[in-house]
Structure 1
Amino acid sequence: MWWFLAALGGGSLALAGRYFWDRRAAQRGDAEELEQIRKLADEDVTLLGEELRRLDTQVEGHPLDPDARADYQVALDAYEAAQRAATRIRAADGISSVTDTLATGRYAIVCVQARMRGEPVPERRVPCFFNPQHGPSTTDIVWTQPKVGTRTVPACAQDAARIGEGDQPKVRYVKCGSREIPYWEAGAAVTPYGQGYFAATAGMNFIPFAGFEPNTGRSFGWGHLEGPTGHDLGDEG
């Protein structure tokens, strides 16, 4: 009997050891994901700050009308709010509020620039799918990715032109292990990054992570545009 009890006790210790090992591994994984998310937030906030400095140069010596000044203030407020929110990220989904605020700031910058040129302000659209740092998209294009399929995605004017000429878009890459991959292939860890950028705008919601397997980054489909009824507007891949 004693050997049976010893074996039972040894099995329990092994199970307990495996539990704590798995728990530590999960904690390490969570910490790495959080570090990745914070890095993405910091990079995008920094880039908005650079865009505002360029806007400062553009408006210097050009009086702004009340609407342009209001848009300018929205952009400044968004930058400051995003800075504060980035420092408070304690979980991966915390980046959603940062990216949503950044999208507001970038749209406000576009509005200021349009007003300075005497043009109507553009429609508020979701950011460029290929890289949300590019700012609001200007059009929806049909894009085919080898081994994945074809979908309609929002794109900035520059990326739309590149694709129209047969070139590759300027994609936002993130680090996954030792590899650099498009952010939409990074799986569940980066999903909140897109959720803030691609919140419902003007009755249309772009879902860039709809076709990726959580926690693996393996793709079995990809993002699509939905109308107000939830109907997929993209081609079948």
Structure 2
Amino acid sequence: MWWFLAALGGGGLALAGRYLWDRRAATQGDAEELEQIKKLADEDVTLLGEELARLDGRVTGRELDTDTRVDYQLALDSYEVAQRAVRGIRKPEAISAVTDALATGRYAIVCVQARVAGEPVPERRVPCFFNPQHGPSTTDVVWTQPKVGTRTVPACAQDAARVRAGDEPEVRYVQYGSRRVPYWEAGAAVAPYGEGYFTVGVGASYIPLAGFESQAGATGGWGDPGTHTGYDPTGHDAGFDPGGGDAGGGGGGDG
């Protein structure tokens, strides 16, 4: 009997050890995913800051009307909100606070540029599908993704021109294991990045990966197969408060 109890005790220790090992590995994996999300958010915020610096050089010395000043201030406020939201990220889903602020800031920049050039202010649309860093989309294009199929997606003017010319669009690539892949193929770890841009706030009515789920699903990505066939390109429900509020709650901080 003693040997049976000893064996049982040893088995219990082994199971406990395996449990602790799995918990440690899961915690490490969660931390790595969070760091990746933070890295993506920080890169996008940095890029917005660079765009604002270029815009500042363009408007400095000009007499701006009230609407232009309002848009310019909104762009600056959005940048600050996004910065705070990045620092407040405690879970991957909180990146939505960052992406919402970024989308608002980029649209505000486009509005300032249009007003300064004496052109009509464009309607607000969801970001460019190929790379949300490109800012608001300007049109929809029919795009064929190898091994997946043909779909209509929103694109910025430059990417739309590339696709129509038969060239490759400038896609937002991210690290996925040992490979660099389009952000929509990077699995569940990066899913909140795309969801933040396209399923909340300004993009609430647009699920960009509808139709790309076969590949996303195979890689652990995101999407809802077969249930979303279109989107509202104007993204009417912006729901962004540059003063904090919703953005700060989503980011887990003041942003």
**Structure 1-normalised TM-score?**
0.88
Checking the alignment, whether the CA contact within 8 Å between 1:206 and 1:224 is kept in structure 2 is: yes
For 1:126, the equivalent position in structure 2 comes to 126
Matched residues in 2 for 1:60 and 1:223: separation? 48
**Structure 1 unaligned blocks of 5 or more:** 229-237
For the structure 1 residues 166 and 222, does the alpha-carbon distance in structure 2 shift closer, same or farther, using more than 3 Å as the test?
A: farther
For 1:205, the equivalent position in structure 2 comes to 206
The answer to whether structure 1 residue 226 and structure 2 residue 227 are counterparts is no
For the structure 1 residues 27 and 155, does the alpha-carbon distance in structure 2 shift closer, same or farther, using more than 3 Å as the test?
A: same
Output the amino acid matched with 1:95. Answer: I
For 2:102, the equivalent position in structure 1 comes to 102
Shift of 1:197: 1.3
Q: Which moved more, 1:186-195 or 1:93-102?
A: 186-195
For the structure 1 residues 214 and 147, does the alpha-carbon distance in structure 2 shift closer, same or farther, using more than 3 Å as the test?
A: closer
Matched residues in 2 for 1:156 and 1:175: separation? 23
Output the amino acid matched with 1:216. Answer: G
The answer to whether structure 1 residue 192 and structure 2 residue 195 are counterparts is no
Give 3-state SS (helix, strand or coil) of 1:189's partner: coil
For the structure 1 residues 63 and 134, does the alpha-carbon distance in structure 2 shift closer, same or farther, using more than 3 Å as the test?
A: same
Shift of 1:60: 2.0
Give 3-state SS (helix, strand or coil) of 1:79's partner: helix
Equivalences for residues 1-237 of structure 1 within 5 A? 1-198=1-198, 199=200, 201=202, 204-208=205-209, 211=213, 212-213=216-217, 216-217=220-221, 226-227=230-231
Matched residues in 1 for 2:75 and 2:93: separation? 23
For the structure 1 residues 215 and 93, does the alpha-carbon distance in structure 2 shift closer, same or farther, using more than 3 Å as the test?
A: farther
Matched residues in 2 for 1:108 and 1:166: separation? 31
Give 3-state SS (helix, strand or coil) of 2:120's partner: coil
Root-mean-square deviation (Å): 2.4
Shift of 1:221: 6.7
Matched residues in 1 for 2:133 and 2:58: separation? 20
Q: Which moved more, 1:207-216 or 1:104-113?
A: 207-216
For the structure 1 residues 40 and 126, does the alpha-carbon distance in structure 2 shift closer, same or farther, using more than 3 Å as the test?
A: same
For the structure 1 residues 81 and 109, does the alpha-carbon distance in structure 2 shift closer, same or farther, using more than 3 Å as the test?
A: same
Checking the alignment, whether the CA contact within 8 Å between 2:103 and 2:127 is kept in structure 1 is: yes
For the structure 1 residues 89 and 201, does the alpha-carbon distance in structure 2 shift closer, same or farther, using more than 3 Å as the test?
A: closer
Shift of 1:179: 1.1
Write out the 4+ residue segments of structure 1 that deviate beyond 4 Å after TM superposition: 217-225
Output the amino acid matched with 1:174. Answer: V
Give 3-state SS (helix, strand or coil) of 1:62's partner: coil
Matched residues in 1 for 2:219 and 2:159: separation? 29
Output the amino acid matched with 1:68. Answer: T
For 1:233, the equivalent position in structure 2 comes to none
Checking the alignment, whether the CA contact within 8 Å between 1:207 and 1:225 is kept in structure 2 is: no
The alignment-based identity, stated in percent, is 70
Give 3-state SS (helix, strand or coil) of 2:25's partner: helix
**Structure 2 unaligned blocks of 5 or more:** 233-255
Checking the alignment, whether the CA contact within 8 Å between 1:187 and 1:215 is kept in structure 2 is: yes
Residues 15-60 of structure 1: per-residue CA shift (max 9 Å, x gap): 1111111111111111110110111111111000000000011112
For 1:232, the equivalent position in structure 2 comes to none
Residues 128-173 of structure 1: per-residue CA shift (max 9 Å, x gap): 0110000000111111111111211110000010111111010101
Checking the alignment, whether the CA contact within 8 Å between 1:159 and 1:170 is kept in structure 2 is: yes
